[in-house]
Amino acid sequence: MKTERFDKKLFKQEVLNNLKTQFRVELDNASQQQIYQAVAYALKEWIIEDWMDTQKTYEEKDPKILYYMSMEFLMGRALGNNLINMSMYGEVKEALDELGVDLNAVEDQEPDPALGNGGLGRLAACFLDSLATLGYAAYGCGIRYQYGMFKQKIKDGYQIEVPDEWLKNGNPFELKRPEYAKEVRFGGNIRTEYDEATGRTNFIQENYQSVMAVPFDYPIVGYGNHIVNTLRIWDAEAITDFQLDSFDKGEYDKAVEQKNLAKNIVEVLYPNDNHYEGKELRLKQQYFFVSASLQAAVAKYKKNHDDITKLYEKMTIQMNDTHPTVSVAELMRILMDEEGLGWDEAWEVTTKTCAYTNHTIMAEALEKWPIDLFSKLLPRVYQIVEEIDRRFVNKIREMYPGNEEKVKKMAILWDGQVRMAHMAIAAGYSVNGVAKLHTEILKNQELKDFYQMMPEKFNNKTNGITQRRFLMHGNPLLADWVTKKLGTDTWATDLSLMSGLKKYVDDPKAQKEFMDIKLQNKKRLAKYILEHNGVEVDPTSIFDVQVKRLHEYKRQLMNILHVMYLYNQLKKNPNMKFYPRTFIFGAKAAAGYLRAKQTIKLINSVADKVNNDASIKGKLKVVFIEDYRVSNAEWIFAAADVSEQISTASKEASGTGNMKFMLNGAPTLGTMDGANVEIVDEVGAENAFIFGMSSEEVINYENNGGYHPYEIYQNDKDIHEVLDQLVDGTYANGDPELYKDLYQSLLFGDTGSQADMYFILKDFRSYAEAQKKVEEAYRDTKGWAKMAMTNTAGCGKFSSDRTIQEYVDDIWHLDKIR
Window of 274-282, 396-404, 566-574, 805-813 that interacts with ligand 26Q by CB under 6 A: 274-282
Q: Which is nearer to ligand 26Q, 274 or 493 (CB)?
A: 274
Based on DSSP, count helices (H) and strands (E) in the chain, helices before strands. Answer: 32, 23
Identify which of 597, 557, 276 has the alpha carbon closest to the alpha carbon of residue 418.
Answer: 276
Rule CB under 6 A: say whether 800 interacts with ligand 26Q.
Answer: no
633: contact with ligand 26Q by CB under 6 A:
no
The residue (of 658 and 791) whose beta carbon lies closer to ligand 26Q is: 658
Considering the complex, what minimum distance in angstroms separates the CB of residue 671 from ligand 26Q? Answer: 13
* DSSP symbol at 468: I
Candidates 5-13, 216-224, 270-278, 697-705: pick the segment binding ligand 26Q (CB under 6 A): 270-278
Among 51, 276, 356, 624, binds ligand 26Q (CB under 6 A): 276
What residues numbered 708-737 form the site for ligand 26Q, per CB under 6 A?
A: none
Q: How far is the CB of 690 from ligand 26Q (least distance, A)?
A: 18
Residue 775 C-beta: closest distance to ligand 26Q, Å: 28
What are the strands, taking DSSP E only, across 321-383?
A: 354-357, 368-370
Query: Using CB under 6 A, which of 229, 230, 556, 654 touches ligand 26Q?
Result: 654
12 catalytic? Reply is no
Is 660 an annotated catalytic residue?
Answer: yes
Handedness of CA 78, 81, 87, 89 (dihedral sign): positive
Cα 279 vs. chain centroid, distance in angstroms?
Answer: 21
463 binds ligand 26Q (CB under 6 A): yes
Site membership for ligand 26Q, residue 273 (CB under 6 A):
yes
Long-range contacts of 5-9, Cβ-Cβ distance < 8 Å, separation of 24 or more: 6/88, 6/91, 6/92, 8/91, 8/94, 8/95, 8/98
Distance in Å, CB of 465 to ligand 26Q, minimum:
10
Q: Which residues pair with 689 in a beta bridge?
A: 669
Among 54, 258, 285, 360, binds ligand 26Q (CB under 6 A): 360
Longest dimension (CA), the chain: 93
Min dist CB 153 to ligand 26Q, Å, is: 22
Half-sphere exposure in the Cβ direction for 321 (13 Å, CA): 24
Secondary structure (DSSP) of 426-455: HH-S-EEESSHHHHHHIIIIITHHHHHH-G
Segment near ligand 26Q (CB under 6 A); pick from 73-81, 218-226, 357-365, 612-620: 357-365
* Nearest distance in Å: CB 655, ligand 26Q: 5
- Alpha helix stretches (DSSP H) within 316-368: 327-333, 343-353
Considering only residues 40, 92, 114, 120, which one is a binding residue for ligand 26Q as defined by CB under 6 A? 120
Q: Is 549 marked active-site?
A: yes
The span from the CA of 700 to the CA of 424, in Å, is 28
118 binds ligand 26Q (CB under 6 A): yes
656 annotated active-site: yes
How far from chain centre, in Å, is Cα 230? Answer: 18
Q: Is residue 433 within the footprint of ligand 26Q (CB under 6 A)?
A: no
Instruction: Give the shortest CB-647-to-ligand 26Q separation in angstroms.
Output: 8
Contacts (CB under 6 A) with ligand 26Q, residues 201-260: none
274 forms part of the interface with ligand 26Q (CB under 6 A): yes
Q: Please tell me which residue in 601, 621, 660, 797 is annotated as part of the active site.
A: 660
Active site annotation includes 577: no
Q: How far apart are CA 388 and CA 422, in angstroms?
A: 11
Interacting span for ligand 26Q (CB under 6 A) from 256-264, 275-283, 491-499, 526-534: 275-283
Our CB check for ligand 26Q shows the closer of 273 and 627 to be: 273
Can you tell me which of 172, 674, 692, 709 binds ligand 26Q, judged by CB under 6 A?
674
408 CA to centre of own chain: 32
Catalytic residue among 322, 353, 493, 656: 656
Residue 607: CB atoms within 10 A of its CB come to 22
Interacting span for ligand 26Q (CB under 6 A) from 119-127, 138-146, 570-578, 752-760: 119-127
371 phi and psi angles, rounded to 5 deg: -60, -40
User: Among the candidate windows 79-87, 259-267, 276-284, 485-493, which touches ligand 26Q by CB under 6 A?
Assistant: 276-284
Query: Counting contacts by CB under 6 A, is residue 367 touching ligand 26Q?
Result: yes
Q: Is 655 in the site for ligand 26Q (CB under 6 A)?
A: yes
Size of the site for ligand 26Q (CB under 6 A): 24
CA distance linking residue 449 with residue 710, whole number of Å:
36
Q: Characterize the bridge pairing of strands 689-690 and 315-320.
A: unpaired
Nearer to ligand 26Q, 117 or 210 (CB): 117
Site for ligand 26Q contains 434 (CB under 6 A)? yes
> Residue 324 or 667: which CB sits closer to ligand 26Q?
324
d(CA 526, CA 538): 7
Contact residue for ligand 26Q among 354, 550, 639, 653 (CB under 6 A): 653
**Shortest Å distance, C-beta 282 to ligand 26Q:** 5
CB of 423 to ligand 26Q, least distance (A): 15
According to the binding rule CB under 6 A, does residue 389 interact with ligand 26Q?
A: no
User: Which of 322/582 has CB closer to ligand 26Q?
Assistant: 322
Site for ligand 26Q in 281-300 (CB under 6 A): 282
Q: From the list 80, 119, 667, 794, which residue makes contact with ligand 26Q (rule: CB under 6 A)?
A: 119
Burial 680-700 (b: 16+ CB within 10 A, else e): bebbeeebbbbbbbebeebbe
Q: Which of 650, 656, 695, 790 binds ligand 26Q (CB under 6 A)?
A: 656
Kindly tell me the sign of the dihedral angle through the C-alpha atoms of 135, 139, 142, 146.
positive
Where would I find the H helices in 190-279?
252-265
Residue 315, helix vs strand vs coil: strand
| Region of 267-275, 304-312, 746-754, 799-807 interacting with ligand 26Q (CB under 6 A) | 267-275
In the complex with ligand 26Q, the residue whose CB is nearer, 267 or 277, is 277
Would you say 555 or 621 has its CB closer to ligand 26Q? Answer: 555
Instruction: Compute the least distance from the CB of residue 367 to ligand 26Q, in Å.
Output: 5
Q: Which is nearer to ligand 26Q, 406 or 629 (CB)?
A: 629
Question: Burial code of 248-274, b = ≥16 C-beta within 10 A, e = fewer?
Answer: eeeeeeebeebeebbeebbebbbbbbb
CB of 653 to ligand 26Q, least distance (A): 4
Nearest residue by C-beta to ligand 26Q? 119
If residue 61 lies in a helix (H) or strand (E), which one and from where to where?
helix 32-61
Neighbours of 103 (CB within 10 A): 19
Choice among 359, 457, 461, 555 that is catalytic: 359
CB atoms within 10 A of CB 721: 14
Cα–Cα distance between 410 and 389 in angstroms, integer? 10
Q: How far is the CB of 652 from ligand 26Q (least distance, A)?
A: 5
> Least separation, in Å, of the C-beta of 164 and ligand 26Q?
16
Cα–Cα distance list, 631 to 39, 74, 111, 235, 531 (Å): 19, 11, 9, 25, 16
Q: How far apart are CA 818 and CA 61, in angstroms?
A: 11
State which of residues 18, 117, 285, 745 lies at the interface with ligand 26Q (CB under 6 A): 117
Instruction: Respond yes or no: is residue 359 known to be catalytic.
Output: yes
Residue 146's identity, in one-letter code, is Q
Give the integer Cα–Cα distance in Å for 281 and 265.
7
Say if strands 200-206 and 209-221 run parallel, antiparallel, or are unpaired: unpaired
Element (H, E) at 230: strand 228-238
Active site residues: 359, 548-549, 554, 656, 660
Residue ranges binding ligand 26Q (CB under 6 A): 117-120, 123, 270, 272-274, 276-277, 282, 359-360, 365, 367, 434, 463, 652-656, 674
